[in-house]
Amino acid sequence: MSAKSFDAIVIGAGQAGPPLVGRLEAAGMKVALIERKFIGGTCVNTGCMPTKTMVASAYAAHLARRAAEYGVALSGPVGVDYKRIKARKDKVTNDSRGNLEKWIAGMKGCTLYRGHARFVTADTVRVGDELLTAPKIFLNTGGRASVPSLPGVNDVPYLTNSSMMDLDVLPSHLIVVGGSYISLEFAQMFRRFGSEITVIEKAPRLTGREDEDTSAAILSILENEGIAVHVGAGDISFAKQGRNIAVTFAADKPAAVGSHVLLALGRVPNTDDLGLDKAGVAVDQRGFVVVDDQLRTNVPGIWAMGDCNGKGAFTHTSYNDFEIVAANLLDNDPRKVSDRIEAYALYIDPPLGRCGMTEAAVKKSGRRALVGQRPMTRVGRAVEKGEAQGFMKILADADTGEILGCSVLGPGGDEAIHCVLDLMYAKAPISTLARAMHIHPTVSELLPTIAQELKPLV
């Protein structure tokens, strides 16, 4: 069988794939886009869009239950219609995916192949019965939930972040195994829908990559809503108990027994069934494709973007990967992965926005630093909204004034963080933030105030 020739092949239609196809096609290239399941990848189908749509529904339910605090009288108790919540979520996802499909279909230079791509050689892939070849191949295959070999895990009907999106009944008691970003978003969300929630985390605290004060504040937020949290869990195991599932996590405590179990224990890259060995593409011990600072693999003509390369696990890092590849290939602009600043959010309510270094990382670096912090109880906008949990923290270099990092755990934290992030990209010193005039009343207006009140980090 002769292979069909293209100028470029893009494997995976997640957040980096379609925009790259658009740029390549606009540059006059003949491009093949291969997708084995849903256009849009994790973000559109099982990640950001559906979960944040559900977070919005959960917030509405939570606020309605607090109506009396705002002087608003409701005629009866607040309940949720989970089937309508799911229908709303499905519509948002389907509309977004449909718009992407229409966009791709309108590209005359792009051919969409549905199926699983596997390398035959370094420049040829097979999709079903088709052979495709191109001098440029781009991997955008994403990742999936990790399912560790814990005792009894295969004997129970567990859920992952993906299968949670298909759940059409509200769990009476959801046990969440894992204490990081995905797990906590689901925990709070379903608690607000009315489920009993138990979170089990093997580490000594939640969100272990954050500073201890941030982890403690997050724990307080969750426990204030009636979520049971167990950290330092020992040997986690699973067993059926009638129609329920029992999760054992400590020798001196009874097992948690719930109707459903969600495993949120990290992600693994979708690289194990691509035939990378036949192309000679190197992967690391965890299966991530090894790339350089411009996302080139060890094989000339092959790039890797998004979650499969281990350079980031977010939609925004995946899209930035596309921008870096396109800039280098098409714009004569030598952009690099190392140019970007780490930034992300945790979408509990209130959300956490984070950029740059943590306090722990700054201390480990050994540099002299300054720190400023303010609780949301001293932020007028948060108090006015009745949402004064959390705090803000800014870190700066004591000698140069360089802004090193920032955390905003509070209302609008995922938006307010960009005030600091953009200054970091502009390489502006902390004095620039300190002299800025922000709008009142906002959460962001206190960032300059904090910048004026920095003290030595000890």
Is the distance from CB of 418 to CB of 378 less than 8 angstroms? no
Three-state secondary structure call for residue 228: strand
N-term to C-term CA, the chain: 68
Residue 24 zone, left/alpha/beta (φ > 0; ψ -120 to 50; rest) = alpha
Task: Of 270, 288, 318, 297, give the one whose Cα is nearest residue 44.
Answer: 318
Buried b (16+ CB within 10 A) or exposed e, 331-361: eeeebebeebeebbbbbbbbbbbbbbbbbee
Task: Of 194, 222, 224, give the one whose Cα is nearest residue 206.
Answer: 222
User: What is the C-alpha to C-alpha distance for residues 401 and 370, in angstroms, rounded to an integer?
Assistant: 9
Cβ contacts of 416-423, under 8 Å, gap ≥ 24: 416/353, 416/392, 416/442, 416/443, 416/444, 416/447, 417/343, 417/345, 417/353, 417/354, 417/355, 418/353, 419/444, 419/447, 420/355, 420/356, 420/394, 420/447, 421/341, 421/343, 421/355, 421/356
CA 332 to chain centre: 30
Q: Which residues are catalytic?
A: 440
- Torsion angle, alpha carbons of 210, 149, 200, 405, to 10: 10
Buried b (16+ CB within 10 A) or exposed e, 413-442: bbebbbbbbebbeeebbbeebbeeeeeeeb
Residue 41 zone, left/alpha/beta (φ > 0; ψ -120 to 50; rest) = left
CA 173 to chain centre: 25
DSSP state letters, 359-416: HHHHHHHT--EEEEEEEGGG-HHHHHHT----EEEEEEETTT-BEEEEEEESTTHHHH
Task: Provide the 8-state DSSP code for 255.
Answer: P
DSSP state letters, 127-163: ETTEEEE-SEEEE---EEE-----TTGGGS--B-HHH
Polymer length of the chain: 458
